[in-house]
Structure formats: structure tokens, C-alpha cells
Amino acid sequence: MQEQLQYLINQSSFTRKPTAELAPFRYEELAKALDFHRTIPGYAPTPLFHLPQLAKTLGVGELYLKDESFRFGLKAFKALGGAYAMARHIADFLEMDISELPYEVMISDEIRKKLNGVTFATTTDGNHGRGVAWMARQLKQKAVVYMPKGSSQERLDAILREGAVAEIVDMNYDYAVRMTAEMAEKYGWIVVQDTAWDGYEEIPLWIMQGYGTLMLESLAQLHEVPPTHIFVQAGVGSFAGMVQGMVTAAYGKQAPKVIVAEARIADCLYQSAVSGKADALPVGGDLQTVMAGLACGEANSIGWNLLRDYSAAFFSCPDAVATRGMRILGNPLSGDPHIISGESGAVTTGLLSILMQSPVYQSAKEELGLDENARVLVISTEGDTDPERYRDIVWDGELPSFKQF
């Protein structure tokens, strides 16, 4: 018997009296990040694919997928957040507005001389660290990257190729985050982490705002007609929190329903929602999951508050949900596009397919209003950032796909 999905339809007291701050996620704030990203060489909106045949098979009205495997040649969306946070730090250090520092000015000899060398440090399961290392190289600054135990050698090598100092350490993600913060304080590095905690909230907020470029692009590609449902994956909840904050700020009570998918072994947001408490609860352990990008046991407090107050549902997903999504997208129905989606990128498609096709979850589907009138957006946050692992799963059947029918 396969491990089942665990889920919670969010009807907590927090949804009736929300307190999470929405102002940082209004259009004018997120547009600052988009304007900066547009100045970076190689910037282009990533594709938004229409999947009519899959939508018909699953029984939803429309299905769209935002494919982040095309982002800056890095195969993942994460660079959006790190790059913007690093740029905002530089702008603040120089006491300038970010609008005065497009990319070509930021890399000028004059600005570099004023900075006198900056080292950016972060902890990563792969994609975020590569984005930070990539942007540091663009800015002609330094990067130090630590990865938790169990991280892929291929992902480490990709970070090293960007010129960063990087290594895999013998501790889980959350302990590695603490170590990075301690090392940064000792050596004067700037921590670029999307996990917020008391006293460290400004840079995580900038990272979340940087991710907003993805959603502004998506809505433009949808001709400003919002979907009815958005499926988002969550590690610490920075990306998911941004999506929730952005659509709530933009559409209020008419906002799309945001459905959060986490890895079962690292489901801190789901466990926090179940607890009914205001503050997020941590999940400990080694956090070993095929969804490496979601292997985080402690929530970003900013993201959690937004998800706690406004999200429609939380799903705790076994690894087989992600592998099902990878195989669905990599082997499309006739007429739909072929999409290479990595382990963390495909979990939302896997989850949607299960909800729509398995009678086990009929009540969840009905409570969420997922039917022939639904216009669904899923976001593939990464491509095959670990190509060998991708082939092991999709070609060689390393892990089973979720099936409870």
C-alpha cells in the first residue's frame, strides 16, 4: 500500500482575521524587481505553456504551466530572488535607489571600487546557491556556498563552475543555515538566505520580491486574466508566500485559490497548519527526499504568515507524487508540449493529477472547487538541474510513481 497524501483544507481562525502584511507584495513593489531583472543580459520571460489535452484528461477547464527551466540558462527560478536581493543590498550600501542601479551600472569599475569587495554567502540544496554564485560572478564579487548532507555532487559541481567557494557539509539544511550565518558574522560576509528569522528579514523579503518577476510575467502571459487555482511547491515557503501575497494584494477576496505542496519528510508548513498555532513549527531530521529543493524543515516566517492567513490548502506529498509529475510532463499527451521538469518542479503537476483522478481524494477536489470550470496554473520551478538523477527516475524507473486508483 502506497503512502497516502496528507492534506488540510485551510479553514483556520487566521483566515477569518488575517494579519499578514500585503504591502510588500503589491504590484509597484514587485515591479521594481522586474525592472532590474530586465537589465540583466540574457533576461527573457520564461514560457507559459497551455496543456489542453492534459486539462481535458484531468477534468479541469484550462491548465497552464510556467516553465522555469529556461531562466538565465540556470534551469531554475531561484536566481530571480538571489540576484534582486544582492542588487538591493548593493543599492542600500551605496545609499541609492535600485532604479538608479541597472545591471550595467552595478558592474561598472566605479561601483566596484566603492564596494571594495563583497562576499555573499548562502546555504542551498542546489538551485538557490547556483543562482547566488552566478550573480556574484556577474557582479565580479565573491560567493561562499554550503550544501547540506545528501546534496548532489552534480549540483555542487554546477556551483563550483560559477566560481564560488562551495562544499557539502555533514548536517541537514537548517543546521547548515545556522552555520552559514555564524561564518558570515565571523568573516563579514553578507548572508543571502530566503529563510527569515527574528533579526534577519530584510534580505529574505527582497528575495521573495525578486521571485515576483515570475508571477508578473505569468499574469501578462495570461492577458491579466487570473487563474482560479495556483498550485505552488514550498520548501521554507518563500516562493509560495510570494505567490500568495501577490495574488491576495492584487485581487483581494477574488484571488485565486493557492494550494501548497510540500515534501512529506520536510512538511513544516503542513504540520504548522495542522497545529493551529500562529507560529510555524520546525520539522527535524535528515530531510532526505527526492525533492531536494524542498528539503527544508524550518519555515520562512514572512512566507508562513501569508500562507497561514490566506492559502486554500496544504498537501504533504510522498516522493512518488513528484516522480508521477515528472513522467506526466516528460511524456505528454498528443498535442501538448514536452516539458522537462525536475523533482521539485513537477510535484504540483503530480498533485493535481492525483486530486483529479483518484476517488480517494474526491472530497478534497470538491472542497477546492477543482472541476471543469477551473483554470489552473502550475509552476515548474526547475528543469533537470541534476540530469543524471532526472534520467534515473524518468528513464530507468528509480522511484515509483504515485498511484491510488
Mark whether 371 is an active-site residue: no
pLDDT for 1: 44
Active-site residue, from 32, 66, 75, 125: 125
pLDDT for 405: 57
pLDDT for 404: 67
b vs e for 15-35, b when ≥16 Cβ sit within 10 Å of the residue's Cβ?
eeeeebebebbeeebbebbbe
3-state SS track over 252-299: HHHCCEEEEEEEHHHCHHHHHHHHCCCCCCCCCCCCCCCCHHHCCCCC
pLDDT for 197: 86
CB 404 within 8 A of CB 4: yes
pLDDT for 287: 85
pLDDT for 198: 87
CA distance 330 to 68: 15
CA distance 175 to 177: 5
Q: Residue 87 has which C-alpha cell?
A: 542588487
pLDDT for 286: 84
β partners of residue 106: none
Active-site residue, from 66, 75, 78, 365: 78
Mark whether 142 is an active-site residue: no
- Which regions in the chain score pLDDT beneath 70? 1-2, 404-405
Question: DSSP character for 98?
Answer: G
Q: Residue 275 has which C-alpha cell?
A: 497545529
Tell me the one-letter amino acid at 150. G
Packed helices 127-138 and 153-161: angle between N→C axes, nearest 10 degrees: 10
pTM score, two decimals?
A: 0.96
Half-sphere exposure of 214 (CA within 13 A, CB side): 32
Q: How far is CA 164 from the centre of its chain?
A: 22
Question: DSSP character for 369?
Answer: T
